[in-house]
Structure 1
Amino acid sequence: MNYPQLNLDKENGPLALIKTNYGDIEIRLFPEQAPMAVENFIKLSEVGYYDGICFHRIIKDFMIQSGDPTDTGAGGESIWNQPFDDEFSEYLYNFRGALSMANAGPNTNGSQFFIVQNNHLEDNLIDPMKKSKFSEKVINAYREYGGAPWLDFRHTVFGQTIKGMDVVDQIANAKVDNSDRPLGNVTINKIEILK
């Protein structure tokens, strides 16, 4: 089985360079496994849709979320001006560093996305994962890298961070209010697509 996130040196999909006021995050995209999510992200990035918007939801030891031009967590649209379907792959998982679509339930993808920041796996998750559809290789990868397995097959994974996890960690450490909104400025300056 080929798990692209565990074989990044063999992948040659497009790269996204998320330039933030905290530093740059470089992400390998997976168009083969999640073609609609990747097309949507690339086209929105190329027209400057994400320029100047903030990370509106930050939860340390979980994830950082952005992609909403209204900065409320309730906005944003896909390139098709309507929600698009989930694209779940048995080869992509919400490991630490995964780029995934945020949603409001099944098949409600728009423009919002998050990067998984959690760097460990709770022991009490391992047995349920074994009883579910997780292979030993995937469980071992979660043990090694961390992540958010409870999001698998609920949120479309379409990329993996290859550089800049230190930036993701710095953003995750930003001070937030009771609604997980950052108290200071945490902004995407621009997303460049490198093909």
Structure 2
Amino acid sequence: MARIKPQTLLQQSKKKKGPTRISLTTIILCNLMVVLIVLSLVATYRHWYQRGRHGEESGFTNFEDSNGSVDLKKFEKFDLPSFAILNTSKGLITVELYKEASPEIVDSFLDLCQKGHFKGLLFHRVIKNYVIQAGDFQRLGEAEDWTLKAKPHGQFANSLKHEAFMLGTSKVKHDGKGFELFITTAPIPDLNDKLTVFGRVIKGEDVVQEIEEVDTDEHYRPKSPIGITNISLKHQP
């Protein structure tokens, strides 16, 4: 039997132990798969994050009807929103609602928010160091009388004082269209007979003050339109 030379055995051993080469195509495919997996995970995370954030901000994610609107009747056994964010042309104003102190007014306010009543509503009267008022300019009535005369002539007694940055509405009969919004900009002597307070500003006092500083005509009407873009409701500020 022929003997294999040691040198031949060494060469055969090297051939068997040599590493298997991975083709460039395989490397590229593997890298592409990793990139696709990472992108898929990122997209999934963003989707659920945005969905959760939207639900938190609106407070109504699980209560929308087929038209995308919110039915407040479904909240009868749940807590109604406690905060409203007024998105104005000057910035955001966050208001805490007094649900227990003024339940009927708050319910009416929430219902009108749901119906989009306040979208595009203008601040039609701005009286510095007194109040800013939003509502239907064509339906002023009694509210026009006391807002224009109360401050210059001091007609009210000093039995009760409203603080600055309080949200209220006129005690004039409400029929939906006539719902007026008032935000006081200073402590005001006894408006209890004229104004029902149903909330207070907790964020955006600077926005209220910016609106208060706009130029007005002799009837306290802003010379440039300032309005409410929309109002969103939340359970948390």
TM-score by length of 2: 0.53
Match of 1:156, SS?
strand
Q: 1:57 aligns with which of 114, 125, 145?
A: 125
Deviations 1:50-73, CA, capped at 9 Å, x for gaps? 1011100100100100132xx335
Q: Which residue of 2 aligns with 1:23?
A: 91
Partner Cα separation in structure 1 for residue 206 and residue 138 of structure 2: 26
Q: Give, in angstroms, the shift of residue 162 of structure 1.
A: 0.2
Deviations 1:110-137, CA, capped at 9 Å, x for gaps? 410200002xxxxxxxxxxxxxxxxxxx
Q: Which residue of 2 aligns with 1:74?
A: 140
Structure 1 unaligned spans of 5+: 1-11, 76-91, 119-146
Match of 1:54, SS?
strand
Match of 1:72, SS?
helix
After superposition, the Cα gap between the structure-2 partners of 1:35 and 1:151, relative to the gap in structure 1 and judged at 3 Å, is same
> Do 2:85 and 2:94's aligned partners in 1 also have CA atoms closer than 8 Å?
yes
Deviations 1:10-47, CA, capped at 9 Å, x for gaps? xx961010000000000000110101110111111121
Partner Cα separation in structure 2 for residue 192 and residue 155 of structure 1: 23
Q: Which residue of 1 aligns with 2:113?
A: 45
Runs of 4 or more off by more than 3 Å in structure 1? none
Deviations 1:53-97, CA, capped at 9 Å, x for gaps? 1100100100100132xx33528xxxxxxxxxxxxxxxx962101
Match of 2:232, SS?
strand
Residue 159, structure 1, aligned to residue 227, structure 2 = no
After superposition, the Cα gap between the structure-2 partners of 1:189 and 1:45, relative to the gap in structure 1 and judged at 3 Å, is same
Match of 1:184, SS?
coil
> Do 2:135 and 2:180's aligned partners in 1 also have CA atoms closer than 8 Å?
yes
Residue 191, structure 1, aligned to residue 231, structure 2 = yes
> Do 1:58 and 1:181's aligned partners in 2 also have CA atoms closer than 8 Å?
yes
**How does 1:1-195 map onto structure 2 within 5 Å?**
14-68=82-136, 71-74=137-140, 94-104=162-172, 108-109=173-174, 110-118=178-186, 147-195=187-235
> Do 2:94 and 2:201's aligned partners in 1 also have CA atoms closer than 8 Å?
yes
Match of 2:120, SS?
coil
Letter in 1 for 2:138: T
After superposition, the Cα gap between the structure-2 partners of 1:13 and 1:95, relative to the gap in structure 1 and judged at 3 Å, is farther
Greater relative CO, 1 or 2 (CA 8 Å, sep 6+): 1
TM-score by length of 1: 0.64
> Do 2:171 and 2:196's aligned partners in 1 also have CA atoms closer than 8 Å?
no
Letter in 1 for 2:86: I
Q: Percent identity?
A: 33
Q: Give me the CA root mean square deviation.
A: 2.0
Q: Give, in angstroms, the shift of residue 153 of structure 1.
A: 4.1
- Equivalent pairs counted in the alignment come to 135
Partner Cα separation in structure 1 for residue 108 and residue 192 of structure 2: 20
Letter in 2 for 1:52: G
